[in-house]
């Protein structure tokens, strides 16, 4: 079964460093998302992406964050200058528009755990 | 704006018993979808069940069923015949089809523990 893959599974970085989290959505999906989950807390929406542009973003998604789809398969989240409070699990998700995905179900990757020291 | 509320931070259930996890929502969108996801301790998000706002029947998927009460704006998840492997966090989520079309909003989750 097709799946969303994310790399790295875990990254440790120093405060102020740039981090890029990578995602490969399911190949025929058109809508892409990043969510984050601080340990033990709710899953928070960051950004959605469609047709090569951001379609919606939350108040969390400030100027330190950016997303890109550099080629036909990858979808990246960049944090320019990490802060301690950016430590979280970051989930990539994708959604198609037909078939099994007609319910609008989000398919999630396994997450990238970011630890900022 | 859309909002999802899960009022049970934690629940216990005896193995083989049924359990209901509560979810209420608020939206001004006329058309929306409701989801339940399971997050085991390993961290991945697993889709369980979907209910569309115009669906006449309550959704069922194996041991999972969604008790959808539109007038009350509730979408409770019922797990029948609980198994030890059902111990996990459970998140209710909603996707709007207008306005908030591109966003799925999650509740705060309910931690379910199944007791042998």
Mark yes or no for CB contact B50/A42 under 8 Å: no
Which of the two residues, A113 and B30, has the higher pLDDT score? A113
pLDDT digits (tens, 9 = 90+) for A46-91: 999 988 899 889 999 999 999 999 887 899 999 999 999 999 999 9
Work out the average pLDDT over A5-25. 96
Which of the two residues, A56 and B87, has the higher pLDDT score? B87
Shortest distance, CA A81 to any CA of chain B (angstroms): 26
The answer to whether A44 and A36 have CB atoms below 8 angstroms apart is yes
pLDDT digits (tens, 9 = 90+) for B28-73: 888 888 999 999 998 889 999 999 888 889 999 999 999 999 999 9
Mark yes or no for CB contact A45/B105 under 8 Å: yes
**Over pLDDT 70: what percentage of chain B?**
95
Chain A residues within 8 A of B100 when measuring between CB atoms: 56
Mark yes or no for CB contact A42/B106 under 8 Å: yes
- Please tell me the distance from the alpha carbon of residue B58 to that of residue B66, in angstroms, as a whole number: 6
- DSSP states of B55-90: -SSPPEETTEEEEEETTTTEEEEEE-S--GGG-EEE
Q: How confident is the model at residue A99 (pLDDT cuts 50, 70, 90)?
A: very low
Q: How confident is the model at residue A5 (pLDDT cuts 50, 70, 90)?
A: very high
């Amino acid at each position: 079964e097709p799946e969303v893959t994310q790399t790295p599974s875990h990254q440790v970085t120093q405060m102020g460093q740039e981090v890029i989290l990578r995602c490969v959505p399911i190949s025929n999906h058109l809508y892409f998302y990043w969510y984050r989950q601080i340990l033990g807390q709710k899953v928070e929406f960051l950004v959605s992406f469609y047709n090569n542009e951001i379609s919606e973003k939350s108040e969390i998604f400030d100027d330190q964050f950016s997303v890109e789809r550099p080629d036909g398969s990858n979808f990246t989240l960049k944090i320019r200058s990490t802060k301690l409070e950016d430590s979280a699990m970051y989930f990539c998700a994708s959604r198609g528009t037909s078939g099994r995905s007609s319910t609008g179900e989000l398919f999630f990757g396994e997450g990238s755990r970011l630890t900022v020291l | 704006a859309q909002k999802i509320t899960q009022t049970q931070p934690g629940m216990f259930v005896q193995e083989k018993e049924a359990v209901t996890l509560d979810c209420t929502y608020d939206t001004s969108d006329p058309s929306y979808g409701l989801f339940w996801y399971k997050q085991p301790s390993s961290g991945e998000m697993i889709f369980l069940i979907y209910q569309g706002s115009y669906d006449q029947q309550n959704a069922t998927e194996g041991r999972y069923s969604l008790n959808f009460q539109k007038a009350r704006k509730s979408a409770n998840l019922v797990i029948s015949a609980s198994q030890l492997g059902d111990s996990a966090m459970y998140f209710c989520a909603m996707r709007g089809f207008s306005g908030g079309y591109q966003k799925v909003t999650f509740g705060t989750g309910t931690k379910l523990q199944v007791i042998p």
